[in-house]
Amino acid sequence: MGRYLDMINSPADVKLLTMEQLQTLAEEIRHELITVLSKTGGHLAPNLGVVELTIALHRVFESPKDKFVWDVSHQVYVHKLLTGRRGAFSKIRQTGGPMGFAFRAESPYDCFGAGHAGTALSAALGMAAARDRGKTDENVICIAGDAALTNGITYEALNNIKATTKRFIAILNDNEWSIAKNVGAIAEYLNRIVRHPSYAAAHKRIDHFLERFPRVGPELAQIGHKVEEAVKGIIVPSLLFEEFGLRYIGPVDGHNTQLLIDTLTWAKQQDVPVLIHILTKKGKGYEKAIEDPQTFHGCGPFDVATGKSPAKKEGVPPNYQEVFADALVRFCDVNSKLIGITAAMPSGTSLIKLQKAKPDRYFDVGIAEEHGVIFAAGMATMGYRPVCAIYSTFLQRAYDCIIHDVALQNLDVIFAMDRAGLSANDGPTHHGVFDIAYARCIPRAILMAPKDEDEFVDMLWTALQNHGPIFVRYPRGAGEGVPIKERPAILPLGKAEVLQHGTDVAVIFYGAMTKMARETVAALEADGLSVALVNARFCKPIDREILEKYGRICKVLCTLEDHVLMGGFGSAVLETLEDLRIDTPVARVGWPDNFIEHATSNQDLQDKYGLNSKTAIAKVKELLAESAARHEKPQQFRVLGAASVRTA
């Protein structure tokens, strides 16, 4: 017999199955998740935890008319499988396949996209307000994990629900985990609810109730009422949500499909906002993921039998994240004021190493980038040297805090901007390609990017010797394989490193782009040109002296960066040349003014958008040809920055 999963082409098909068949469907979905993600990688453990919930949602509600708003939305794989995307599922997060998050452009069933945490309640409340104004009758259901309650925006939304609408369903999917174990007082509060003695006793009662309650005919309509009666007994003190004006119900077993269906049916009938607190097991159905939910939160390909990822190839250099954390641990020994701060990403940033080695120098503030940055500012006022290790993309959240709380007061906060550049599998919500633009315009900011892991350590050390807001951007993944010096160097502020001199073209790169830069240089040299190679090191203060020198000597400059062209490093070069009244054209290579999609690898995207030496060479040659033509036929005016309108 075939799988039920293969018969589900839309949520309507979920409604045709019996309870027993739904249980089988849940098993099939888990099998599919494990099989596919063992090859593609992805958010396995969160999705294994919401199988019954997603089935129940599609059973009770009418998506896409009814709106499901998922927080972060890394847990929508099951939803994708049930909403017509089963055929493409084997390519999830791969080039041309479905995105790993909800994405409006992908499907009408994805009513709100996300990738960053804490947005679901606000978005859902906006939809509910629009519905109320339009006097339509859609249900709006938001599904948020317990870690969403570490995020400030969630409370901003909670604060407004009661005043905004009477019909709103929030589902709190509590599995006690963020990526790492969830942190803070709210996590403890939820834990207290779950451990409350009345919960265990009442749990038995509700199971009993469900067994004997028929689900056919007119009695079906009564289910909601009966559920309320039955679960009343399990409502344990939950003042927090009640004070926000939400009717709290729970904790409910998030793997009991029938109970979920009944509870959601009840919730649908309420004329007050409702919060359903469900308990789920992260990784349910796959022992390896239950044992290690952190690794399987978002994993690479793995062997299903052992749960192990392919062994790291011999000779692969340590990644930037490990180098970063090792350096911090080392620096702690010589700087008693050094503090590492993560916003719920101890494994991603590798700050977990600092947590283990120097627990008193480590803070995990939860998914709370704004708080993390202002917290760092506060510590800095007391003479500490906080390092905020935050992904470039998530630091966007804390932009005002960087300006208002750190820079304006000239406080010594170092921003370790992790995952600068692309995060291919995750896609546009996670690409860190805006940070130069957003940090460069902030007065007093110092911006650096290392060419390799040794220089990275130098930069972190240099940052500690300097003051004010300092941003060091670095990519995900393996370093270049260079040895790390025993004693880091203090780099001269705002000074580039000239790797080779040349007089026709100067290739100036910012960050770990040496390979691409060298390829560009080699190809241009092969054409008989004299080419300089410059590692910029700093974007701010930018090395005016070097730019002036090569701007005056060379016919063309070429900039390389793993960032959007608009407002990026190349823009900084153009502005500097303009200040210096130098009109040497600049061939800029970087990302275009688009949101870059997800793909199997960064390489796929670099090929597609031409972020490579081929583009650099072509642009340089084009500008050289234009320059030659200009010199043959002298022009009166030159449009400054004309090269900038051509994108990669």
Does 46 bind ligand TPP (CB under 6 A)? Our answer is: yes
Can 282 be counted among the known catalytic residues?
yes
Whole-angstrom distance, CA of residue 84 vs CA of residue 75 = 16
Does 44 bind ligand TPP (CB under 6 A)? Our answer is: no
CA nearest neighbour of 535 among 463, 480, 461: 480
CB of 73 to ligand TPP, least distance (A): 9
Does 351 bind ligand TPP (CB under 6 A)? Our answer is: no
CB of 631 to ligand TPP, least distance (A): 52
Nearer to ligand TPP, 47 or 606 (CB): 47
Q: Binding to ligand TPP (CB under 6 A): which residues in 245-284?
A: 282
Q: How far out from the chain centre does Cα 95 lie?
A: 18
Does 145 bind ligand TPP (CB under 6 A)? Our answer is: yes
Which range in 33-41, 105-113, 144-152, 232-240 contacts ligand TPP by CB under 6 A? Answer: 144-152
Nearer to ligand TPP, 73 or 613 (CB): 73
Nearer to ligand TPP, 71 or 412 (CB): 71
Does 397 bind ligand TPP (CB under 6 A)? Our answer is: yes
Which range in 66-74, 301-309, 436-444, 454-462 contacts ligand TPP by CB under 6 A? Answer: 66-74
Binding-site size, ligand TPP (CB under 6 A):
25
CA nearest neighbour of 93 among 575, 560, 543, 428: 428
Tell me the residue nearest to ligand TPP as measured from the CB.
145
Does 364 bind ligand TPP (CB under 6 A)? Our answer is: no
CB atoms within 10 A of CB 27: 14
Nearer to ligand TPP, 179 or 442 (CB): 179
| Position among 179, 354, 424, 599 found at the interface with ligand TPP (CB under 6 A) | 179
What angle, 0 to 180 degrees and rounded to 10, lies between the N-to-C axes of helices 219-232 and 197-212?
A: 160
Nearer to ligand TPP, 331 or 394 (CB): 394
Does 285 bind ligand TPP (CB under 6 A)? Our answer is: no
Residues 390, 353 contacting (CB under 8 angstroms)? no
Whole-angstrom distance, CA of residue 120 vs CA of residue 143 = 7
Whole-angstrom distance, CA of residue 388 vs CA of residue 411 = 13
Nearer to ligand TPP, 179 or 414 (CB): 179
Nearer to ligand TPP, 426 or 458 (CB): 426
Q: Binding to ligand TPP (CB under 6 A): which residues in 68-87?
A: 71-72, 74-75
Can 369 be counted among the known catalytic residues?
yes
Does 294 bind ligand TPP (CB under 6 A)? Our answer is: no
Which range in 67-75, 190-198, 561-569, 581-589 contacts ligand TPP by CB under 6 A? Answer: 67-75
Residues 491, 459 contacting (CB under 8 angstroms)? yes
Dihedral Cα 207, 213, 218, 224, nearest 10 deg: -20
CA nearest neighbour of 602 among 496, 497, 476: 476
Nearer to ligand TPP, 71 or 562 (CB): 71
For the chain, how far is it from start to end, CA to CA, in angstroms?
Answer: 52
| Cα–Cα distance list, 195 to 51, 54, 175, 234, 502 (Å) | 24, 25, 13, 12, 70
Whole-angstrom distance, CA of residue 419 vs CA of residue 345 = 12
Residues 597, 428 contacting (CB under 8 angstroms)? yes
Which range in 169-177, 242-250, 323-331, 630-638 contacts ligand TPP by CB under 6 A? Answer: 169-177
Catalytic residue among 282, 288, 473, 537: 282
Query: Looking up tokens 């009944």, which residue turns up?
Result: 262
Can 397 be counted among the known catalytic residues?
yes
State the alpha helices, DSSP H only, in 280-397: 287-291, 320-334, 352-357, 369-381, 392-395
- Please give the helix or strand (H or E) that residue 79 lies within, else none: helix 77-82
Whole-angstrom distance, CA of residue 133 vs CA of residue 165 = 10
Catalytic residue among 138, 228, 369, 453: 369
| Position among 394, 434, 474, 591 found at the interface with ligand TPP (CB under 6 A) | 394
| Position among 55, 147, 354, 589 found at the interface with ligand TPP (CB under 6 A) | 147
Catalytic residue among 397, 476, 588, 619: 397
Does 392 bind ligand TPP (CB under 6 A)? Our answer is: no
> Residues 350, 147, 110, 88: is their CA dihedral positive or negative?
positive
Does 598 bind ligand TPP (CB under 6 A)? Our answer is: no
CB of 396 to ligand TPP, least distance (A): 9
Whole-angstrom distance, CA of residue 458 vs CA of residue 455 = 5
Does 167 bind ligand TPP (CB under 6 A)? Our answer is: no
Backbone torsions φ then ψ of 527, nearest 5 degrees: -90, 10
Nearer to ligand TPP, 85 or 282 (CB): 282
CB of 47 to ligand TPP, least distance (A): 9
Whole-angstrom distance, CA of residue 77 vs CA of residue 51 = 9
Does 588 bind ligand TPP (CB under 6 A)? Our answer is: no
CB atoms within 10 A of CB 400: 11
| Interaction site with ligand TPP (CB under 6 A) | 46, 49, 71-72, 74-75, 116-117, 145-148, 173, 175, 177-179, 282, 297, 343-344, 367, 369, 394, 397
Which residues form the catalytic set? 282, 369, 397
